[in-house]
Amino acid sequence: MALLEVSHLVKHYEKPRGTLGALSRRPRQYVKAVDDISFSIEQGEMLALVGESGCGKTTTAETVLRVIEPTAGTITLSGTDLTGLSEAELRPLRRHMQIVYQDPYASLDPRFRVSRTIEEPLAIHGIGGSKRARRDLVSEALAQVELVPTNLFLDRFPHELSGGQRQRVAIATALAVNPELLIADEPVSMLDVSVRAGIMALLSRLCRERGMGILLITHDLGVAAHFTDRVAVMYLGRIVETGSTRAVLSGPQHPYTKALCDVVPKRQTKRDRAEGSLLRGEADATGTAAAGQGCRFRPRCRYAIEDCVEVDPRLRPVEAGDGHETADGHEAACIRPGLFELGQNVEVGRE
């Protein structure tokens, strides 16, 4: 049984149609923020949900946490279906799923010392009993995120910490209650390039050592590349490609994944840069491409053909040249398979 099982998750928002619209019985219109996606995370596994701003990745995360209510679909954590639960029933389960937010400058209370920030969730969930026992747990959490010696950090305020250290405190706060699932929403995008790898390596290690499942939300395939087991690429509410990180990044099969791979800056000069592969425009969740039939990526896709207007592509297993499905559960939602060679790129992925 998977740790987290998300099945046919849907989150639609109704577009405002105004009083006149309602009176004239104009049909309701919806923004399909998340439109029928399914994925699962095993214990000790890190899954990256990758896509541009507005593709629905954060909505997915918040729906999993039941911070926002899904329109349809089920979310199962360790066998318990979360979707039907009331707020009171959900509360004891909350400690099993924690989140680390993007901006460690905003997510930590500036008036709380590090020790108090980490201790608060312990107190809320009634973990640790005595104050002394709780303090030991706080120190342990700090040690887990490599803020050692811990007594050097316990009494500090957030403004006395660097961005990377703050994000480590945010991770320690999430870890303190010993969750089974950690959602990391763009945990490194606010940080300097020089410390990003350290935070990602930390998450990767915690995931493995503690058998925790991690859902990593990121817009940057470069961040996902070397530290995650599997990736799911989202575009306008749908997963358009998924599989092991190694399989997907070494041979992206969906034109969108290919474009995401191409925009990650590389160690090269301007002259070496491949010309003309850049996608135009932005993913518009409120636009016609998201609402209508056919492939949602079509308006920005250089490989689009007439059929793409009609056919709504669903995830299909990627076939290797010999007609067999590739290993690693590699799937892509494009009606033109074989646009790009498999295993063309350098193999990257978690060791």
Q: Which residues bind other proteins (CB under 8 A)?
A: 52-54, 162-163, 192-201, 219-223, 225-227, 249, 259-261, 263-270, 272-274, 278-280, 282, 345-348, 351
Residues in Cβ contact with 237 at an 8 Å cutoff, skipping those fewer than 6 apart: 32, 33, 34, 35, 37, 55, 56, 285, 290, 296
Q: In whole angstroms, how close is the CB of 190 to other proteins at the nearest point?
A: 9
Q: In whole angstroms, how close is the CB of 11 to other proteins at the nearest point?
A: 20
Q: Report yes or no: 119 and 135 within 8 Å, Cβ to Cβ.
A: yes
Q: In whole angstroms, how close is the CB of 272 to other proteins at the nearest point?
A: 5
Residues in Cβ contact with 328 at an 8 Å cutoff, skipping those fewer than 6 apart: 243, 244, 246, 247
Name residue, tokens 């709380």.
112
Give whichever of 73 and 198 is closer to other proteins, judged by the CB atom: 198
Query: What is the distance between the alpha carbons of residues 202 and 289, in angstroms, rounded to a whole number?
Result: 39
What secondary structure does DSSP assign to 195-247, as a single string?
HHHHHHHHHHHHHHHHT-EEEEEES-HHHHHTT-SEEEEEETTEEEEEEEHHH
Give whichever of 121 and 349 is closer to other proteins, judged by the CB atom: 349
Give whichever of 250 and 326 is closer to other proteins, judged by the CB atom: 250
Give whichever of 282 and 312 is closer to other proteins, judged by the CB atom: 282
Phi, psi of 105 (to 5 degrees): -80, -25
Give whichever of 41 and 348 is closer to other proteins, judged by the CB atom: 348
Give whichever of 9 and 161 is closer to other proteins, judged by the CB atom: 161
Residues in Cβ contact with 261 at an 8 Å cutoff, skipping those fewer than 6 apart: 221, 249, 252, 345
Residues in Cβ contact with 49 at an 8 Å cutoff, skipping those fewer than 6 apart: 39, 57, 60, 61, 215, 216, 217, 218, 231, 232, 234
Q: In whole angstroms, how close is the CB of 224 to other proteins at the nearest point?
A: 8
Q: In whole angstroms, how close is the CB of 1 to other proteins at the nearest point?
A: 30
Give whichever of 284 and 319 is closer to other proteins, judged by the CB atom: 284
Token pair of 337 as six digits: 């398979």
- The dihedral over CA atoms of 320, 350, 229, 187, expressed in degrees to the nearest 10, equals -130
Residues in Cβ contact with 206 at an 8 Å cutoff, skipping those fewer than 6 apart: 144, 171, 175, 182, 212, 214
Name residue, tokens 């135009």.
280
Give whichever of 22 and 201 is closer to other proteins, judged by the CB atom: 201
Q: Report yes or no: 43 and 212 within 8 Å, Cβ to Cβ.
A: yes
Query: What is the distance between the alpha carbons of residues 260 and 117, in angstroms, rounded to a whole number?
Result: 36
Greatest alpha-carbon span in the chain? 68
Give whichever of 97 and 304 is closer to other proteins, judged by the CB atom: 304
